[in-house]
């Protein structure tokens, strides 16, 4: 697929532990794909492989038809692959505006163009009242939005989000769902979301891929995955809990 990010038979090991074991994944532009599973299933390791932060034992990664396995993160970012991290990586001593500007400048924009893009993104993410605040002074929800704005400053073809709703309340999570959908529509990018909040996943995603013990156990629509006995047993729990996740 020319307009896709594809992982084929990816394996990544830590010592004798098979963190990811022969996993395939395909994310097309314009799609929102959820990646879920219990702790230790291999979700973040797989994203680390896709974004150049983790070496593999085997497999290949292609982006828009190019073989990108082994490319460093900076080259992948310049080619259209952006991500956020489970543990925030903001420049705490810089202002909100400067954090986003830096990402644009690193992509080759002039300072003026980087500032224009940053202002547009911060308005979209409702952070304009925080422009001059240092990142270290932000509440947690605003930190999450700032990291998302910084990833978007690279104008990605594919955006990978690692637990973007972590620590958010229900109102903030609902706003996040609307924001991610708006980003997808605005950029036409493919979005991959690792998330434990099933309320977010079921409302947000076109497809869901479920990992357990380093391998894929299910792929499909939210309704299909929610009803899959293998997923219920490995991750989602009772049928009552699963049904409630989509409400």
Are 31 and 66 part of one and the same domain? yes
Locus of tokens 């990291």: 147
Are 141 and 196 part of one and the same domain? no
Domain that holds residue 114: 90-155
pLDDT at 161: 96
Residues 6+ apart with CB under 8 A from 110: none
For residue 226, tell me if it sits in a domain.
yes
Strand 17-28 and strand 4-14: the pairing is antiparallel
Domain boundary among 121, 155, 189: 155
Domain boundary among 130, 155, 180: 155
Are 20 and 66 part of one and the same domain? yes
pLDDT at 242: 43
Are 117 and 186 part of one and the same domain? no
pLDDT at 162: 93
pLDDT at 244: 46
Domain boundary among 109, 133, 155: 155
For residue 119, tell me if it sits in a domain.
yes
What's the number of CA atoms in the CB half-sphere (13 Å) around residue 70? 6
CA dist 72 and 51 (Å) reads 8
For residue 85, tell me if it sits in a domain.
no
pLDDT at 239: 36
CA distances from 79 to 54, 62, 75, 172 (A): 18, 12, 6, 31
| Cα-to-chain-centroid distance, residue 190 | 10
CA dist 66 and 28 (Å) reads 14
CATH number of the CATH domain containing 181: 3.40.50.300
Are 175 and 236 part of one and the same domain? yes
Are 161 and 241 part of one and the same domain? yes
Q: Is 24 left (phi over 0), alpha (psi -120 to 50) or beta?
A: beta
pTM for this structure?
0.89
Are 57 and 70 part of one and the same domain? yes
Tally the domains of the chain: 2
pLDDT at 240: 41
Are 70 and 10 a contacting pair, CB within 8 Å?
no
Task: Provide block-wise average pLDDT over 10 residues at a time, the chain (247 residues).
Answer: 90 92 97 95 96 95 96 94 87 95 91 94 93 93 91 95 91 92 94 95 97 96 94 70 44
Are 68 and 121 part of one and the same domain? no
pLDDT at 247: 42
């Amino acid at each position: 697929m020319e307009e896709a990010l594809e992982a084929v038979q990816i394996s990544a090991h830590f010592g004798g532990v098979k963190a990811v074991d022969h996993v395939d994944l395909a994310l097309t532009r314009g799609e929102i794909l959820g990646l879920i599973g219990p702790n230790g299933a291999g979700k973040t390791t797989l994203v680390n492989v896709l974004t150049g932060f983790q070496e593999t034992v085997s497999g290949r990664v292609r982006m828009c038809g190019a073989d990108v396995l082994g490319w460093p993160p900076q080259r992948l970012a310049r080619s259209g692959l952006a991500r956020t991290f489970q543990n925030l990586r903001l420049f705490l001593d810089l202002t909100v505006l400067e954090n986003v500007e830096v990402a644009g400048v690193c992509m080759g924009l002039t300072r003026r163009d980087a500032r224009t893009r940053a202002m547009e993104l911060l308005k979209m993410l409702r952070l304009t009242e925080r422009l001059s605040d240092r990142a270290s002074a932000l509440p947690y929800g605003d930190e999450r939005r700032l990291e998302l704005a910084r990833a978007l400053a690279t104008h990605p073809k594919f955006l990978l989000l690692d637990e973007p709703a972590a620590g958010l309340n229900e109102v903030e999570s609902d706003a996040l769902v609307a924001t991610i959908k708006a980003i997808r529509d605005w950029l036409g990018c493919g979005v991959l979301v690792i998330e434990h909040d099933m309320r977010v996943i079921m409302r947000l995603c076109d497809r869901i891929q479920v990992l357990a013990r380093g391998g894929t156990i299910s792929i499909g629509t939210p309704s299909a995955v929610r009803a899959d006995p293998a997923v219920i047993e490995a991750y989602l729990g009772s049928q009552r809990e699963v049904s409630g996740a989509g409400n």
